[in-house]
Structure 1
Amino acid sequence: MKLRTVTLTILLAALVFTCKNDDDDDEVVVVPARDRTEVYEENKAAIDAYLDTHFYNYDEFDFDNPYSEANDSFQVVIDTIAGENSDKIPLSQRPELIAKQVADAEEEDLIYTMYYLMVREGEGDVIHFTDRAYLQYTGTLLDGTIFDSTVTPVGLNMSTVGSDFGVVDGFREGTIEFKTSVSNSENGDGTVTYHKHGIGAIIMPSGLGYYSLTLSKVPAYSCLVFTLRTPGVIYLDHDSDGVYSYLEDLNNNGDFSDDDTDGDDVPNIIDIDDDGDDVPTIWEDLDNDGDPTNDIGANGIPNYLDPTETASNQDED
């Protein structure tokens, strides 16, 4: 579907997903933006009602053995509490449902509450906000309308860096709470089973989704629900300087734009000389151990962030 930005206008309006099928002819319309706080209050009421009136298939998951092979094929399915399902426990009362606060990208004083359903965290690698995660997911509206889905894992960049397209904020903030699989096995029919990956769901207000964008199956200001599994991840190095991008978020605030060691207005994540000493970061692996984050000067500052420690003055020592 609509996981990729289509025009510059859309890119500036909101971060959209990166994956888009070739046969997808979704038409994207940007409508005049409403007051973000007002929209959030409406979204919050809708999400609260959704959580109270919907459940997921928790009785099909073996909580006593969460990382069993049987659970590896489990997929979250959310449905309405009604009829033969009238005795189900609503999402709002499930201990797996976790609230998370995220600031609005446009108005930092506006703090959204989104939710992720942690059915199983996963036992593999951590997924960072700068990584490319490989995911299986289904996206729906609160009324159950499916607007996107994938069966096999799709690689999605969690953030917009350089020429990368990123995902919407709520999807990223939910996905990074999970970990990947530890292994996989072929089933002999062309399919693959992943083992011990994360399993869950994400529920977000429109301010963390497409907000005022209107897509063919997603009206403006729609709350979004994603069920997902997290098979894998690739740790990206956006400037190819030998330091994974997630390590270049020095203050660990989830924002790479404010980490600029040499003050040259180029964030470290896309700066090939982070400390401005005219020695490329990747060359500051002075003891040739393949790790440019070492500290030859033993002053508590890694070489690639310390302009006083370069290959030349190390040779002089």
Structure 2
Amino acid sequence: MKLTKIALIVFALIIGVAGCSSDDDSSTTISYRDRTEVYAEDILEIETFLETHYLNLEDNAFDFVDLYNPSNDDFEIVFSALEDGSTETALIDMPQLKFKMVEDPAEEGLFYKLYYLEMRQGLGNEVHFIDKAVLTYEGSTTESFVFDNAINPTSFELTTVLSGGVVTGFRESLIEFKTATSFSENNDGTLAYHEHGIGAAFLPSGIGYFGQTLTTVSSYTPLIFKFNVFDRVLLDHDNDGIPSFLEDLDNDANVFDDDTDENSAPDFFDADDDGDGTNTIDEIELISYELDDDGLPFLTKADAQNHFDTSDQIDANEVLIDIQFDFSDNTYTLNTFVATDSNGNGIPDYLDDTYPEE
């Protein structure tokens, strides 16, 4: 899968270079172009594409009034070039085209305009920056050359942790969408997803592959990704009971800078977050709710959310993990954890190295 970043390889190269003696004149330094200069070229190329192409609905209609009409579940995005005299709406003028500013992963203070086309956001679960996402996709250049695709649902970890991960621009696009609410089985045994997110993103190379050369795509090439977001998996990298996205304590979408005990192992990769000798999983309480206060199952996601928001069963220090749909009986389960604060000092036990007392 060409989307996978090569963080380990780069790390190995850095270690290798650092280990070379200073009198070794045979070492080679890789020189990349100025990132600001490349961005200026990329955004011009992307916006030119958006101004000269449209969403082709000739063979694939889309219901813009009822976005979650079942007929839209099979919609596939197709872009075509505008011809002279065309009455089609250019992509740049579509109300569905949005953008966000994304900081360069390598150069602090440099931000990219990331355009994305939101055909529909999706009605399922939120996709977090460190989740595993399940999707179909197609990657192409502005010249409509397809360099990568997956026609069957495939999964990717969105943040590089030792291995896996996708490029920054793709991750930042996917987290703007939500998953499907349900699925059904087709006659051929394949699955049909419903009410999922459908979109496309237009990536400057600085949040793509930048100076890396793919087998079929040259370096410094802006990319286009079309995708359908079907599902997501909450990852718990250290198996401490707390999903990794909830270990981003400062909410800056970066789990690597949250290290409570300052032992160089960030909390999401540390089984004992506060370093007090008691594992995190033994300082929290994991709870699942399948019934409301009246003993009735949650028939909608809103029912489960309302239970968390209003029920006296919910502890003041209880944290929502997720609400899962059970396809076997069409009900929902509310999953939480209690961030116990035994000494009442306002710091949860799992982040408080003063508790338990020795």
TM-score under structure 2 length normalisation: 0.77
Deviations 1:145-190 (A, max 9, x none): 00011111110000011x3321000000000000000110011113
Distance, in Å, in 2 between the alignment partners of 1:273 and 1:129 is: 23
> Contact 1:31–1:212 (CA<8 Å) still a contact in 2?
no
CA deviation after TM superposition for structure 1 residue 4, in Å: 3.1
The CA deviation string for residues 113-172 of structure 1, in whole angstroms up to 9 with x for no partner, is 1111111111111100110000110000000000011111110000011x3321000000
Match of 1:43 in 2: 42
SS of 2:337's equivalent in the other structure is: coil
Structure 1 residues 262, 6: closer, same or farther in 2, change over 3 A?
A: closer
- Equivalences for residues 279-298 of structure 1 within 5 A: 279-285=278-284, 291=337, 293-298=339-344
Shift of 1:309: 3.1
Q: Give matches, 1:142-291, under 5 Å.
A: 142-161=142-161, 163-285=162-284, 291=337
Q: Which moved more, 1:4-13 or 1:205-214?
A: 4-13
RMSD: 2.3
Please give the alpha-carbon distance, in whole angstroms, between the structure 2 residues aligned to 1:292 and 1:199.
35
Unaligned runs of 5+ residues in structure 1 are 14-29
Q: What is the CA–CA distance in structure 2 between the aligned matches of 1:64 and 1:71, rounded to whole Å? A: 11
Question: What is the CA-CA distance between 1:9 and the residue it aligns to?
Answer: 4.2
- Report SS of the residue matched to 1:122: coil
Q: 2-side partners of 1:284 and 1:78: how far apart? A: 52
Residues 136 and 229, structure 2, Cα contact 8 Å, conserved in 1:
yes
Aligned pair in 2 of structure 1 residues 56, 288: CA closer, same or farther (>3 Å)? closer
The match for 1:70 is: 71
Say whether the 8 Å CA contact 1:292–1:303 is kept in structure 2.
no
1:17 maps to what in 2? none
Alignment CA distance shift 1:286-1:240 (3 Å): closer
Instruction: Compute the displacement of 1:308 (Å).
Output: 2.7
Give me the whole-angstrom Cα distance separating, in 2, the residues matched to 1:81 and 1:12: 46
Give the C-alpha shift of residue 296 in structure 1.
Answer: 3.6
- Distance (Å, rounded) in 2 between the aligned partners of 1:288 and 1:196: 28
Structure-2 residue corresponding to 1:305 = 351
Output the CA distance in 2 between the equivalents of 1:108 and 1:135: 30
Counterpart residue identity of residue 101, structure 2: Q
The 1:170–1:10 alpha-carbon spacing in structure 2 relative to 1, beyond 3 Å, is same
Matched residues in 1 for 2:199 and 2:7: separation? 31
Identity of aligned residues (%): 43
**Is the alpha carbon distance of 1:12 and 1:202 closer, same or farther for their aligned partners in structure 2, counting shifts above 3 Å?**
farther
Q: Return closer, same or farther for 1:265/1:224 CA change in 2, 3 Å cut-off.
A: same
Retained in 2: the 8 A contact 1:284–1:292? no
Counterpart secondary structure, 1:151:
strand
Letter in 1 for 2:62: F
Offset at residue 11 of structure 1 (A) = 6.6
- Larger RCO (CA under 8 A, 6+ residues apart): 1
Instruction: After TM superposition, give the deviation of residue 56 of structure 1 in Å.
Output: 1.5
Which structure has the bigger radius of gyration?
2
Give the direction of change, closer, same or farther, for the CA distance of 1:126–1:277 in structure 2 (3 Å limit): same
User: How far did residue 202 of structure 1 move?
Assistant: 0.8
For 2:285 and 2:152, how far apart are their aligned partners in 1? 42
Indicate how the Cα distance of structure 1 residues 287 and 228 shifts in structure 2: closer, same or farther if over 3 A, else same: closer
Cα pair distance change 1:300/1:67, threshold 3 Å: farther
* 1:279 CA displacement: 0.5
Deviation at 1:7, TM superposition (A): 8.4
Partner residue of 1:96? 96
Contact 1:282 1:292 in 2 (8 A): no
- 8 Å Cα contact 1:134-1:233 kept in structure 2: yes
**Distance (whole Å) between structure 1 residues aligned to residue 351 and residue 7 of structure 2:** 37
Question: How far apart in 2 are the matches of 1:252 and 1:284?
Answer: 22
Cα distance, 1:8 vs. partner?
4.6
SS in structure 2 at match of 1:213: coil
SS at 2:340 equivalent = coil
- Cα distance in structure 1, aligned partners of 2:196 and 2:342: 38
Go from structure 1 to structure 2 and tell me whether the alpha carbon gap of 1:58 and 1:200 turns closer, same or farther (over 3 Å shift).
Answer: farther
Q: Provide, for residues 209-251 of structure 1, a one-character-per-residue CA deviation record: whole Å limited to 9, x for no partner.
A: 0111112221110000000000000000001111000000011
Cα 1:297/1:6, change in 2 over 3 Å:
closer
